[in-house]
Amino acid sequence: MKPYPNNVEKAPYKRQIASNRKALHEYHVHETLEAGLELTGTEVKAARSGKVQLKEGYVEFRNGQAFLHGVHISPYSHGNRENHLPDRPRRLLLKRREINRFFGRSQTKGYTIVPLSMYLKNNLLKTEIALVQGKKLYDKRQTARERELDKETRQAIKTAGRYDD
């Protein structure tokens, strides 16, 4: 007996490998996009073991292609002399229309493209990239203030629920 009927699709398997929490603090996220990565074998094995750092990453466009720079994938522990360079630029696998759209929007003053997360989706390594705009200091303070107010509200609701009896 099959666990799923023929007309029901299984949800795609997703496992988080790395995330760029600093980007969510430093930037306003306007648009996100999922992209594949062109990697070597040892890079995939190192990434699967979670040795990825996205903090300083950004996307650059050259010759009609998108490249991921500043992402550090540590060398694979069991790799030999064929191991990869940790900080090399990696080509993003995007459709032409997506490249053109993101390139055009990134040319606007103050906008850039950064990686937000890297994950395995059905055994393929994907990265989520985003069109972002830098926050000013007062924006960061406003975000922190809103977060604090939300926290106080949740705590007030939680304690009020205890004394309703």
Question: Which pLDDT score, from 0 to 100, does residue 3 have?
Answer: 61
- Run means of pLDDT, 10 residues per run, the chain, 165 residues: 62 85 88 93 88 92 94 86 86 95 90 94 92 84 88 88 63
**Phi, psi for 124 (deg, rounded to 5):** -115, 140
Residue 115 lies in a domain: yes
Residue 8 lies in a domain: no
Residue 2 lies in a domain: no
pTM over 0.85: no
Domain housing 111: 14-134
Same domain membership, residue 119 and residue 141: no
Same domain membership, residue 124 and residue 92: yes
Instruction: Indicate the helix (H) or strand (E) that contains 116.
Output: strand 111-121
Same domain membership, residue 145 and residue 104: no
Same domain membership, residue 105 and residue 75: yes
Residue 9 lies in a domain: no
Distances in Å between the alpha carbon of 8 and those of 2, 3, 14, 65? 11, 10, 18, 37
- Counting the structural domains of the chain, the total is 2
Same domain membership, residue 97 and residue 146: no
Burial (CB < 10 A; 0-12, 13-18, 19+), residue 110, is exposed
Same domain membership, residue 147 and residue 86: no
